[in-house]
Amino acid sequence: MDVISVIRTKRDKGELSPEQIDWVIDAYTRGVVADEQMSALAMAILLNGMNRAEIARWTAAMIASGERMNFDSLSRPTADKHSTGGVGDKITLPLAPLVAACGAAVPQLSGRGLGHTGGTLDKLESIPGWRALLSNEEMLHVLDTTGAVICAAGDGLAPADKKLYALRDVTGTVEAIPLIASSIMSKKIAEGTGSLVLDVKVGTGAFMKNIEDARELARTMVGLGTDSGVKTVALLTDMSTPLGLTAGNALEVRESVEVLAGGGPADVVELTVALAREMLDAAGIKDADPAKALADGSAMDVWRRMIAAQGGDPDAALPVAREQHVVTAPSTGVLTRLDAYDIGIAAWRLGAGRARKEDPVQAGAGVELHAKPGDTVTAGQPLLTLHTDTPEKFDYALKSLNDSWDIAAEGTTFTPNPIVLDRIA
């Protein structure tokens, strides 16, 4: 095999053979194929696509590049969830303990934020003492004793994907649906979960801007999971407006705890419960009621045990940014649009996100929302509060909010998008 022939095959819209795929993934992982060569292949895949057989083989080759986990020793069925990323998407935090409180084991391998989308690990690391890095033995112990674990994927899990993901991020090939699908599913299949629910975000704040692209991605991933023996279902969910009332690490943890305490924003509660029901159904648990587990405090109990098991203090005060800046409504009327992407960019610029994986984040930075589309606002009332430790960032963040909302005349009838747009199984 030689990499030039593999690149030319896909450049010329050909189908890569199983042998070509196996070789190029292995050779790239070992360093035989250079970054510039793999970036050329990734761009050819972005432009010309892959069929289902190619995507399945590509995914299998990335799984084969590392280890596979096994949870057969657990007494509970396993169920996991993956979100394609959005703004204010804190759902994993209340969801994992909620599903565990209903009888499933939730091995949640999560990532960090990059750009305008937040990362689950960054959010949880705002809790004093909490550890994202666990050995496989530690992960299994936390899962066995609490029912849920949220941690970083180990270096041995699909190392080919880790290397390729970093390359895609700097070569303009993140949006390639075959590469998104294989990236997500190689890690989830190698993780060893018995069932998987995918939350595929659609809208300005998501990687998939329109619903047809989101459906294609969802169908591709559901097919990959099903072909690998993992019961997989996908929900397409709205990301035109931020989820909840916060975008930022400690801000989102605080809001997640409110949900676990039986309160919190209605959209966060709705999506958390909808995903929990899908996860429990996929795991074969039919008699549990996730709404009841939120109301009776049992999900909160699991949260506290899970955080403590990973070194965190569930009672500790969360970080608060040193500086705030209030953005007020320019007119009176009905808020009909609040752009998720713009809010995400503002939170990122305030210090809640990173431009490169090695960049630090501010735990207290972010954006707090005081109204959502459909609400009536009055001129001069707080619309957003910006939080940061570095006030010189305010002007930069405000530039992203120049055209981020629409306010219609008083009395305007407005119906927000539903949270769940479609289901793919």
Q: Is the pLDDT of residue 88 over 90?
A: yes
pLDDT of residue 356: 73
Residues 121 and 111: beta-carbon distance below 8 Å: yes
Residue 226 lies in a domain: yes
Q: Is the pLDDT of residue 337 over 90?
A: yes
In single-letter form, the type of residue at position 394 comes to F
Q: Is the pLDDT of residue 114 over 80?
A: no
Residues 310 and 131: beta-carbon distance below 8 Å: yes
DSSP 182: H
pLDDT in tens, 220-278: 999 999 999 999 999 999 999 999 999 999 999 999 999 999 999 999 999 999 999 99
Catalytic residue among 187, 231, 349, 387: 187
pLDDT of residue 182: 96
Residues 335 and 415: beta-carbon distance below 8 Å: no
Q: For this structure, is 161 an active site residue? A: yes
Q: For this structure, is 387 an active site residue? A: no
Residues 412 and 332: beta-carbon distance below 8 Å: no
pLDDT of residue 131: 97
Residues 121 and 363: beta-carbon distance below 8 Å: no
Structure tokens at 376: 């009536």
Residue 393 lies in a domain: yes
Q: For this structure, is 141 an active site residue? A: no
Same domain, 283 and 187: yes
Same domain, 343 and 388: yes
Structural domain boundaries enclosing 381: 323-408
**Rounded CA gap, 302 and 312, in Å?**
13
Q: Is the pLDDT of residue 361 over 80?
A: yes
Q: Which of 221, 223, 229 is nearest to 193 (CA)?
A: 229
Residues 334 and 407: beta-carbon distance below 8 Å: yes
Same domain, 298 and 375: no
pLDDT in tens, 181-198: 999 999 999 999 999 999
What's the CATH number where 21 sits? 1.20.970.10
Same domain, 329 and 222: no
Residue 146 lies in a domain: yes
Confidence of residue 162 (pLDDT cuts 50, 70, 90): confident
Residue 225 lies in a domain: yes
Same domain, 274 and 371: no
Catalytic residue among 10, 81, 82, 163: 82
The residues, ordered by sequence, that sit 6+ positions from 256 with a Cβ below 8 Å of its Cβ are 90, 93, 94, 123, 264, 268
**Rounded CA gap, 158 and 154, in Å?**
9
The number of domains in the chain is 3
Residues 142 and 134: beta-carbon distance below 8 Å: yes
Q: For this structure, is 82 an active site residue? A: yes
- Rounded to two decimals, what is the model's pTM? 0.94
What's the CATH number where 243 sits? 3.40.1030.10
Same domain, 30 and 126: no
Structure tokens at 9: 């095959």
Same domain, 337 and 303: no
pLDDT of residue 111: 85
Catalytic residue among 168, 231, 277, 305: 168
3-state SS string over 237-251? EECCCCCCCEECHHH
Same domain, 118 and 265: yes
Q: For this structure, is 187 an active site residue? A: yes
DSSP H helices, 65-132, are: 92-101, 120-124
Structure tokens at 14: 């050909």
Residue 276 lies in a domain: yes
3-state DSSP assignment of residue 233? strand
Same domain, 41 and 96: no
Q: Is the pLDDT of residue 293 over 80?
A: yes
